[in-house]
């Protein structure tokens, strides 16, 4: 999170009950900084102008015996410069602060964690969120401290995804994609609103975002119902495709970065250390969880371990088995 020199100014606002929502995303501090600065500059000049107005009304009020002074046309260059330069400096400071905050929410964050990419569809009058594993839901699910990338689309008119706790608002425009980049920094459930008037039920076009405390909690939610009623082979096929296994392990016997999975079931394979092993449930399971344990001869030891859930492991085993034992 960026340093916030105006934090004390913001703190006064945040301490006012109901004035500022919780700060739950990586871009929120930057937005609060701009808000606090503009708020207090405005408050200062409001107080100053009201005070001077009251002072002049009292001091120069009409009094018996007092005569109207002659107006004296005057020009003071120093005064002119002063009230040009000070507002210019203030407005320029607002410009720099808000531009920096804006760029932060329109470009991917420099982070080692892979972003959680969610497709968002706005339609009259509801939101729909498609998560990376193929699970769609009427609510948005994210992981705390994992960067999120939202890709917004609309099927009809312009909507606007608004999460006050994230300090984020982005239009969903028909005919094009728009994007949001941020990292949720607080686990919990926050309201999602539509912030662009879109017809009769615009005010009811609400949803919620659930920020999971960790990836495991997100995964548990993500798998709920996804494979309900699916056979193990179907589960395995989905995992094999979605986890990208197929990029290195071909289904047609061709050689890629790793050995093909076609027709290997039940056969012996030669390992890099000279031993040989039979392709069965245990070998497949071990090779997914600890790929370096038994490396097939002639292939590089480059596969990253894949921490699959038990059912996904069973699925892969069933799927590979279903591919047969004839090369």
Beta strands in the chain (DSSP E): 116-123, 126-130, 136-137, 140-143, 148-154, 159-163, 168-172, 178-182, 188-194, 207-212, 268-270, 276-278
197 in contact with ligand CUA (CB under 6 A): yes
209 in contact with ligand CUA (CB under 6 A): no
238 in contact with ligand CUA (CB under 6 A): no
Confirm if 179 and 109 have CB atoms less than 8 A apart: no
- Look up residue 181 and give its two tokens: 């980049």
207 in contact with ligand CUA (CB under 6 A): no
Among 10, 144, 159, 249, indicate the residue that binds ligand CUA (CB under 6 A): 159
192 in contact with ligand CUA (CB under 6 A): no
User: Rounded to the nearest whole angstrom, what is the least distance from the CB of residue 254 to ligand CUA in the complex?
Assistant: 48
Site for ligand CUA, residues 279 to 298, rule: CB under 6 A: none
- Look up residue 167 and give its two tokens: 């300090």
User: Rounded to the nearest whole angstrom, what is the least distance from the CB of residue 125 to ligand CUA in the complex?
Assistant: 6
User: Rounded to the nearest whole angstrom, what is the least distance from the CB of residue 158 to ligand CUA in the complex?
Assistant: 8
User: What is the rounded distance in angstroms from the CA atom of residue 250 to the CA atom of residue 240?
Assistant: 11
Interacting span for ligand CUA (CB under 6 A) from 33-41, 195-203, 210-218, 257-265: 195-203
258 in contact with ligand CUA (CB under 6 A): no
Confirm if 33 and 4 have CB atoms less than 8 A apart: yes
202 in contact with ligand CUA (CB under 6 A): yes
Half-sphere exposure of 58 (CA within 13 A, CB side): 5
Confirm if 222 and 141 have CB atoms less than 8 A apart: yes
Strand order of the sheet with strand 168-172?
Answer: 140-143, 207-212, 188-194, 159-163, 168-172
User: Rounded to the nearest whole angstrom, what is the least distance from the CB of residue 282 to ligand CUA in the complex?
Assistant: 53
User: Rounded to the nearest whole angstrom, what is the least distance from the CB of residue 196 to ligand CUA in the complex?
Assistant: 5
28 in contact with ligand CUA (CB under 6 A): no
122 in contact with ligand CUA (CB under 6 A): yes
Q: What is the largest CA-CA distance in the chain?
A: 117
User: Rounded to the nearest whole angstrom, what is the least distance from the CB of residue 204 to ligand CUA in the complex?
Assistant: 9
Among 120, 153, 198, 264, indicate the residue that binds ligand CUA (CB under 6 A): 198
User: What is the rounded distance in angstroms from the CA atom of residue 181 to the CA atom of residue 109?
Assistant: 7
205 in contact with ligand CUA (CB under 6 A): yes
Interface positions with ligand CUA (CB under 6 A) = 122, 125, 159, 194, 196-198, 202, 205
């Amino acid at each position: 999170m960026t340093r916030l020199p105006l934090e004390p100014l913001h703190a006064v606002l945040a301490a006012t009950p109901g004035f500022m929502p919780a700060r739950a995303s990586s871009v929120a501090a930057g937005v609060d900084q701009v808000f606090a600065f503009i708020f207090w500059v405005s408050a200062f000049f409001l107080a100053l102008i009201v005070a001077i107005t009251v002072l002049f009304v009292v001091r120069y009020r009409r009094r018996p015996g007092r005569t109207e002074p002659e107006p004296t046309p005057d020009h003071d260059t120093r005064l002119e410069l002063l009230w040009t330069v000070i507002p210019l400096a203030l407005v320029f400071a607002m410009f720099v602060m808000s531009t920096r905050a804006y760029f932060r929410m329109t470009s991917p964050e420099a982070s080692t964690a892979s972003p959680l990419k969610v497709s968002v569809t706005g339609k009259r009058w509801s939101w729909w969120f498609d998560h990376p594993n193929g699970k769609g839901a009427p609510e948005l699910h994210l992981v705390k401290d994992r960067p999120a990338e939202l890709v917004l689309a609309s099927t009809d008119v312009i909507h606007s995804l608004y999460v006050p706790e994230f300090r984020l608002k982005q239009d969903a425009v028909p005919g094009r994609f728009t994007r949001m980049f941020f990292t949720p920094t607080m686990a919990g459930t926050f309201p999602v609103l539509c912030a662009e008037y879109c017809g009769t039920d615009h005010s009811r076009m609400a949803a919620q975002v659930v920020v999971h405390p960790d990836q495991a909690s997100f995964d548990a939610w993500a798998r709920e119902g996804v494979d309900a009623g699916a056979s193990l082979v179907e589960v395995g096929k989905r995992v094999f495709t979605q986890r990208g296994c197929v990029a290195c392990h071909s289904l047609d016997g061709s050689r890629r970065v790793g050995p093909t999975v076609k027709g290997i079931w039940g056969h012996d394979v030669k390992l890099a250390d000279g031993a040989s092993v039979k392709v069965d449930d245990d070998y497949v399971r071990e090779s997914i969880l600890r790929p370096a344990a038994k490396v097939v001869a002639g292939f590089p030891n480059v596969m990253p371990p894949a921490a699959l859930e038990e059912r996904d492991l069973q699925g892969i085993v069933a799927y590979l088995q279903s591919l047969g034992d004839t090369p």
